[in-house]
A = this chain, B = another copy of it.
Amino acid sequence: MEHSRRALIGGIGAGLALAGSGAPRAFAQNRKIGYAVVGLGSYATRQIMPNFAGCDSARLVALVSGTPAKLEQFGTQYKIPKTHRYSYADFDRIRDNPDIDAVYIVLPNSMHAEYSIRAAQAGKHVMCEKPMAISVAECQAMIAASKKAGKKLMIGYRSRFEQYNRLAIDLARSGHVGPTRLITAEHGFPAQPNQWRLDRPLSGGGSLMDIGIYSLNAARYLTGEEPVEVSAVESTDRNDPRFKTVEDRINFMLRFPSGIIANCVSSYSSSHNSYRVIGTQGYIDMEPATPYQGQSMTIRKDGVATPRVLPAAAKTQFAGQLDHLAECILTNATPIVPGEEGLADMRVIEAIYRSAAEHRSVGIKA
């Protein structure tokens, strides 16, 4: 199933790439793809940027920030020349910088679409953080823009480059514990006040956009299927100053074509990071499932629970993700998590919000 799904996505993606109007740029196979990181928040500076050092095919060549002090600090730290440091006012000038092959958009959610589209229009490939954007319409516009430019578009689903999650996908889809019957997936953390993620105009939503998307995406990648029905329940204390404009908890159930049901948690007021794939003969348990590091897997089969420990990975999930887009660019392949993957999540996210608001289950069509 994994194979056929990848083939399908590859087929679609390849078609889009060929249909693009931009002329493919020729790359030497031995050069590294140059990234501009757009947005110098903590995720960019603490998780992404240090990981270029472990990449085979990607390197950091430019920075974009609205804060001159950050450009100075990180520009110095990463030896980025002043000519490769940009403000947002300067953003479109990246077009004229041939060292920049791709941009990595790490901005607040509501800015993903605009900057991804402007990057494509500037002739750059795009890596965009999840959630891809704040609406299905924006996701579609981003895909169209990259297609028109003949450039790649990939979404930052880092767990797809993490070895335990990859193993879980293989085990789940191959029926290692029997055909999957149920999935539980739980993600949440106590939101700290006064962050852009609690400001709807910037975030587009609350816990679901930010952390619940991990539960949703896991349910989709562990099944390899698209849900056909979603039912959601929200619980938010609007007297809590953190939750004036965004939701706290929004749990949801997904029904998949094969009959699998996924029970999912999304919370901004409690800590969760786990999933479990339950088959007819046992389960595959991951807790924590999607942290930056330290995944832990237990497999229960025929009544016996056994921890599954893998040798240390040669490459972090962050480096793997950065290298993947780079290698797709170098070989003209389609990323395993292209814009269509972000769009698929966003379709379900919109259905989850609708279900919770209307107190009914919502059918989802591809």
Q: Which positions in A face B, CB cutoff 8 Å?
A: 181-182, 184, 186, 188, 190, 229, 231-233, 235-237, 249, 251, 253, 255, 259-261, 263-265, 267, 269-272, 278-280, 282-283, 359-361
B235 touches A255 (CB 8 A): yes
Residues of B within 8 A of A237 (CB): 259
A184 touches B261 (CB 8 A): no
Residues of B within 8 A of A264 (CB): 263
8 A-B pairs with least C-beta separation: A360-B360, A181-B270, A359-B361, A235-B259, A270-B278, A233-B253, A263-B263, A231-B231
Which residue, A261, A264, A283, has most C-beta atoms of chain B within 10 A? A261
**Chain B residue at minimum C-beta to C-beta distance from A230:** B233
Query: Closest approach, in angstroms, between the C-beta of A357 and any C-beta of chain B?
Result: 11
B361 touches A263 (CB 8 A): no
B278 touches A271 (CB 8 A): yes
List, sorted by A's number, 6 A–B pairs whose CB atoms are closer than 8 Å: A182-B265, A231-B231, A231-B233, A231-B253, A231-B361, A270-B283
Residues of B within 8 A of A235 (CB): 255, 259-261
Residues of B within 8 A of A232 (CB): 231
Dominant secondary structure of chain A at its interface with chain B: strand
A260-B235, A261-B233 known; A251 vs B359 contact (CB < 8 Å): no
Q: Which of B186, B233, B278 contacts A184 (CB 8 A)?
A: B186
Q: Which of B260, B269, B360 contacts A361 (CB 8 A)?
A: B360
Query: How long is the Cα–Cα vector from A182 to B215 in the complex, in angstroms?
Result: 15
Copies of this protein in the assembly total 2
A233 touches B270 (CB 8 A): no
Residues of B within 8 A of A261 (CB): 233, 235, 249, 251
Residues of B within 8 A of A269 (CB): 181, 280
Query: How long is the Cα–Cα vector from A232 to B252 in the complex, in angstroms?
Result: 10
Residues of B within 8 A of A267 (CB): 181-182, 278
Query: How long is the Cα–Cα vector from A263 to B262 in the complex, in angstroms?
Result: 10
Query: How long is the Cα–Cα vector from A272 to B270 in the complex, in angstroms?
Result: 23
Residues of B within 8 A of A270 (CB): 181-182, 278-280, 283
A190 touches B361 (CB 8 A): no
Residues of B within 8 A of A361 (CB): 231, 233, 359-360
Query: How long is the Cα–Cα vector from A233 to B233 in the complex, in angstroms?
Result: 12
Q: Which of B182, B282, B283 contacts A251 (CB 8 A)?
A: B182
B229 touches A359 (CB 8 A): yes
Query: Closest approach, in angstroms, between the C-beta of A188 and any C-beta of chain B?
Result: 8
Query: How long is the Cα–Cα vector from A249 to B360 in the complex, in angstroms?
Result: 19
Query: How long is the Cα–Cα vector from A278 to B272 in the complex, in angstroms?
Result: 8
Query: How long is the Cα–Cα vector from A260 to B269 in the complex, in angstroms?
Result: 11
Which residue, A188, A251, A280, A283, has most C-beta atoms of chain B within 10 A? A251
Query: How long is the Cα–Cα vector from A260 to B279 in the complex, in angstroms?
Result: 28
Residues of B within 8 A of A184 (CB): 184, 186, 263, 265
Query: How long is the Cα–Cα vector from A282 to B361 in the complex, in angstroms?
Result: 31
Residues of B within 8 A of A186 (CB): 184
Query: Closest approach, in angstroms, between the C-beta of A191 and any C-beta of chain B?
Result: 11
Residues of B within 8 A of A259 (CB): 235-237, 249
Query: How long is the Cα–Cα vector from A186 to B185 in the complex, in angstroms?
Result: 13
Residues of B within 8 A of A249 (CB): 181-182, 259, 261
Query: How long is the Cα–Cα vector from A278 to B251 in the complex, in angstroms?
Result: 14
Residues of B within 8 A of A236 (CB): 259
